Amino acid sequence: MKRHTIFGRGALRALAAIGLAGALLLSGCGGAAQQGQADSGSGKTERQEANELTVGIAQDLDESLDPHYSVAAGTREIMFNVFEGLLKPTPDGQLAPAIAAEAPTVSEDGLTYTFKVRKGVKFHNGQEVTADDVVWSIERCWKPADADAPLVAGLAAVQEVEKVDDETVKITLSAPNNEFLACMTLAILPMDYADQATQPVGTGPYKFVSRVAQDNAVFERFEDYWGEPASIGKVTFKIMEKAESLVLGLQSGALDVVMHLSSTQTSQLSQDEFNIEQDTMKLVQALYLNNAEAPLNDVRVRQALCYAVDKQGVIDLAFDGYGSPLGSSMYPSFSKYFDESLVDYYPHDVAKAKELLKEAGYPDGFDLEITVPSNYQPHVDAATVIAEQLKEAGINATLKKVEWATWLDEVYSGRKFQATVIGLESKDMTARALLERFQSEKSGNFINYSNSEYDELYAQAIASGDDAEQTAIYKQMLQNLTENAANVYIQDLADLVAVRKGLTGLTFYPLYVLDISKLAWEQ
Amino acid sequence: MKKNKINGYLLAGLILFGIFLVMMIIGLFYTPYSPTAMSSAEKFQGPSAAHLFGTDNFGRDIFSRALKGGITTFGIALATIAIGAAAGTLIGAVTGYFGGIVDDVLMRLNDALTAFPSFLLALVIISIVGPGKKYNVILALGIVFIPSFARVMRTAFASLRDVNYITSAKLMGAGSPRILFVHMLPNTVHTLLPALTIGFNNAVLAEASMSFLGIGVTPPDASLGYMLSEAQSMFGRAPWYALCTGMMIVLLVFGVGLIGEGLQRQSREVA
């Protein structure tokens, strides 16, 4: 009597299993909301009609949005639109007056800088910017209440900051300093305003409206901006930590602009919908090594790693050949300091690497754990290729993928790591910003680089008043980093930006910033 | 009358599982390419005679990776289920046979373990023992799988407690361990076997989901789940990666599922 139906329980269960596997395949695809679909009539998206913009970013903002305290490049990149200093960087790498009405007058001995505060500049809270705010903001970075050293190292040269009258601020230096002016891009904030960390207030073309941790941040155009007002009314930064979510977000119409894409990602976008713009990231991507940790505390081992890694191979394999190889902590767009000859200081040479390892007492190689922040696909990809290349030299490298917060905590602050792939940028437009962190006692020296010659050179460079001499010293410092194989330098990544057709005005800076005030929808 | 006839489910399952097993055995000794060898000239190639499953974003041969990944996944699932079944059977045997206070305490502990969503529990265990190591994944999943085995086996042992041959064994002076494992255990096989096959499939899928979320195995090790998570980021450019890897998982899970169903039916028909 018992008859098997075609779809018995077993078959059903098997189907359920297939379904589950299918669900696994698709579970990454749910992130992108179907908003802002092109409306067929005008060819414009809803957001374009409303003059709004959604930008996808790969990481959450810092917990504190206080510009004087934020560390992450990704946070500064977008908060650039909210804050301004006395001076402001321009796309061609110069400094233009912002809150200062004009370029400062400098005394003949190069020690006194006098700034006129621009009239009628308003903070986002409606207050007008006064000389008091300027003095207070500079002093906050110069002599922070909670630290011994200035927050911006370049301010160490400052001797006095004083208000001359309501519109004039005078800054006196203890010695002439070529890089002091670059420090004057530090954000001017309203005096004694306490909620900077959660509800930041600046003078930029956009004002901060709100943020939802791990989800988004919203900016609105600041109508009382002193300069040329921005075009787009409301900008939402959508946080999507997965590389594929960003692509899907663009494809589905949920996002209009995404910076820092890889060629793998952009190749999935339709040419009809997006323009792909190319720039360099202005990042020093390297396999950063914990110089204090055995066996990496042996210079021969570090050099062996340098010989074992084939930079061009990394660029070809993981980045479709886009990228500029580096040999030290400086990228090519800083042409003044960039030293081409360091790029090939350690040519790819596995035999040499093995020999050095043998000399150092590791004839059979060793185990190396490379910690990578899982939300940065380019770093994960580079690390994957590097791990494979190191195998040839007998080094058994494994990857440890961690969340960004864990990376900051364990690797950057805790310095508990062996090696990591990450990109370091220059906070302001100076070589110093890239080089100061490698001083032995510097708090940002997460690789524990300790080289007395380097420290000395740095002190000399800072003390030097002559630009040519200073440049020469910086170059020596770069050489020092290369010779001692402080890190395995890889490349300055190509920065591919996907911009929805119809959006114009994307401007590149020699800094890691996205200037949304210049973006506009075509009418 | 049809005592030893293999039914259709079992046969189909054995064939599918056999295919997978043969591939794994080959993979143990031979892969067409090194599973980690990269080649910039051969990135994103579709399936072809040279690369059966195509290549990925680093030009690695997906077929070779799938063979190695399959071994990893299979190994993890097997070890997981071994832990879960061994501990679960032990708990089930003790609680089901003795009852009373032992039963109450152990089963309430068991319930407490069940109260956590299994995935969350695995996550917690992983974060305690540290991510990224194969045996940690096995340990985490193994613990997660204990409660379901314990529950099923307890019922099986409890139902045997009062049958005549056990009573006779007791009267003849057999000790508890002997009764439990010599007399009772073999008679719980019809409960244990399906539980094992279902559990095995769940373990495969659990490993896949964990690696998919980035808390399972780490590169350069490959597992099918990890490969699937890699594949999704390039689904637009290399759909064969996700499809081929997914098919491997389906092959394994479907095969074992059918075997389980077949065994269950056969024992029912015999009875």
**Least confident among A134-138, A395-399, B131-135:** B131-135
pLDDT for the residue B46: 85
Residue of A nearest to B43 (CA): A317
Q: Is B82 exposed, middle or buried (0-12, 13-18, 19+ CB in 10 A)?
A: middle
The pLDDT confidence band at residue A43, using thresholds 50, 70 and 90, is low
* Separation in Å, CA of B107 to nearest CA in chain A: 28
Write the pLDDT tens digit of every residue in B78-98.
999 999 999 999 999 889 888
- pLDDT tens profile B202-232: 888 888 778 777 677 766 678 888 888 888 8
Q: Are residues A222 and A292 in the same domain?
A: no
Number of structural domains, chain A?
3
Q: Assess whether A162 and A219 both reside in one domain.
A: no
In a domain, A225, yes or no: yes
pLDDT of B148 > 80? The answer is yes
Mean residue pLDDT of chain A comes to 86
Q: Is residue A455 part of a domain?
A: yes
Question: Which one-letter amino acid corresponds to residue A491?
Answer: Q
Residue A177 sits in a domain whose CATH number is 3.90.76.10
Pair B134, B217: CB distance under 8 Å: yes
Q: Write the CATH number for A212.
A: 3.40.190.10
Residue of chain B with shortest Cα separation from A11: B258
First-to-last alpha carbon distance for chain A, in angstroms, is 75
Task: Give dist(CA A380, CA A326) in Å, integer.
Answer: 18
Residue B32 lies in a domain: no
Considering A183, A208, A238, which residue would you say is the last residue of a domain?
Answer: A183
**SS3 of residue A156 by DSSP:** helix
The 3-class secondary structure across A362-422, one letter per residue, is CCCCCEEEEEEECCCHHHHHHHHHHHHHHHHCCCEEEEEEECHHHHHHHHHHCCCCCEEEE
Are B236 and A21 inside 8 Å of each other by CB?
A: no
Are the beta carbons of A384 and B220 separated by less than 8 Å? Answer: yes
Residue A75 lies in a domain: no
- Are A160 and A308 found together in one domain? no
Neighbours of B10 (CB within 10 A): 20
**A272 within a domain of the structure (yes/no):** yes
Rounded mean pLDDT, A45-56? 89
Which residues of chain B lie closer than 8 angstroms to A247, CB-CB?
A: 236
Taking only the tens place, the pLDDT of each residue in A79-129 is 999 999 999 988 877 889 999 999 999 988 888 999 999 999 999 999 999
Q: Are residues A370 and A295 in the same domain?
A: yes
Domain extent for A125: 82-183
In A363-382, the residues whose Cβ lies within 8 Å of chain B are 374, 377, 381
Q: Could you tell me which residues are beta bridge partners of residue A234?
A: A52, A220
Summarised one tens digit per residue, pLDDT across range A406-437 is: 899 999 999 999 999 999 988 766 788 889 89
**Residue with the two structure tokens 């998570």:** B229
What's the pLDDT at A207? 94
Token duo for residue A513? 């910033």
Mutate which of B211, B233, B243 to test chain A, going by most A C-beta atoms within 10 A? B233
A30 near B CB under 8 A: no
Contact A317 B40 (CB under 8 A): yes
Looking at the fold, whether A124 and A260 belong to one and the same domain comes out as no
Please report the sign of the dihedral spanned by the C-alpha atoms of residue A55, residue A185, residue A121, residue A123. Answer: positive
Look up residue A122 and give its DSSP letter: B
Q: What is the pLDDT of residue A280?
A: 85
Regarding whether A302 and A260 lie in a shared domain, the answer is no
Compute CA B6 distance to the chain's CA centroid, rounded to the nearest angstrom.
23
* Contacts A264 to B, Cβ<8 Å: 57, 233-234, 237
Query: Residue A241 corresponds to which tokens in the numbers above?
Result: 């930590």
| Average pLDDT for A145-158 | 81
Residues A486, A346 share a domain: yes
* CA dihedral sign of residues B241, B244, B247, B252: negative
Distance of CA A258 to the CA centre of its chain: 14
Tokens (6 digits) for A505: 């005005």
Residue B231 lies in a domain: yes
Q: What is the DSSP pairing of strand A419-425 with strand A234-239?
A: unpaired
B43, part of any domain: no
Q: Is residue B240 part of a domain?
A: yes
Question: Please, what is the end-to-end C-alpha distance for chain B in angstroms?
Answer: 11
User: Cα separation of B202 and B271, whole Å?
Assistant: 28
A226-229: which pairs have CB atoms within 8 A and are 24 or more residues apart?
Answer: A226/A118, A226/A120, A226/A121, A226/A122, A227/A98, A228/A517, A229/A205
Q: What CA–CA distances, in Å, run from A259 to A6, A49, A266, A314?
A: 53, 23, 11, 21
Question: Does A402 score more than 60 pLDDT?
Answer: yes
Q: How far apart are CA B179 and CA B169, in angstroms?
A: 7
Angle between helix B224-232 and helix A9-26 axes, rounded to 10 deg: 50
* A193 lies in some domain: no
User: What CATH number is given to the structural domain containing B88?
Assistant: 1.10.3720.10
Question: Cα separation of A271 and A262, whole Å?
Answer: 15
Contact A431, A474 (CB under 8 A): yes
Query: Cβ neighbours of residue A70 under 8 Å, at least 6 residues apart?
Result: A61, A62, A64, A76, A79
Domains in chain B, number: 1
Beta bridge partner(s), residue A521: A503
CA distance A182 to A259: 25
**pLDDT at position A475 over 50:** yes
Residue A298 and residue A156 in one domain: no
- Is residue A293 located within the same domain as residue A427? yes
Instruction: Give the tokens for residue A450.
Output: 């300790």
Mean pLDDT of B153-169: 87
| For residue A476, pLDDT beyond 70 | yes
Query: Residues with Cβ < 8 Å from A292, sequence gap 6 or more?
Result: A415, A448, A450
Determine, yes or no, domain membership for B146.
yes
Residue A27 confidence (pLDDT) above 70 = no
Q: Which of A267, A268, A388, A396 to mutate to test the interface with B (most CBs of B within 10 A)?
A: A388
B93: containing domain: 8-27+54-270
Per-residue pLDDT tens digits for A227-246: 999 999 999 999 998 888 89
Residue A263 lies in a domain: yes
Residue B235 in any domain: the answer is yes
Kindly state whether residues A346 and A256 are assigned to the same domain.
no
Same domain? For A487 and A501 the reply is: no
Facing residues of A206 across strands? A221
> Given the structure tokens 């319930």, which residue do they identify?
B111
The closest CB to that of A14, out of B38, B212, B257, belongs to B257
Any domain includes A191:
no
**Which tens digit of pLDDT belongs to each residue from B90-121?**
999 889 888 888 889 988 988 888 888 877 88
Helix H or strand E segment including A243? helix A243-252
Residues of B within 8 A of A18 (CB-CB) are 250, 254
Query: Which residues in chain A are closer than 8 Å to B214, comparing Cβ atoms?
Result: 374, 401
Q: What is the mean pLDDT of chain B?
A: 85
B44 inside domain:
no
CB contact under 8 A, B219 and A387: yes
Same domain, A473 and A513: no
B212 closest CB neighbour out of A4, A24, A251: A24
Q: Is residue A189 in some structural domain?
A: no
Task: Please tell me the distance from the alpha carbon of residue A238 to that of residue A258, in angstroms, as a whole number.
Answer: 10
> Do the chains contact at B257 and A316, CB–CB below 8 Å?
no
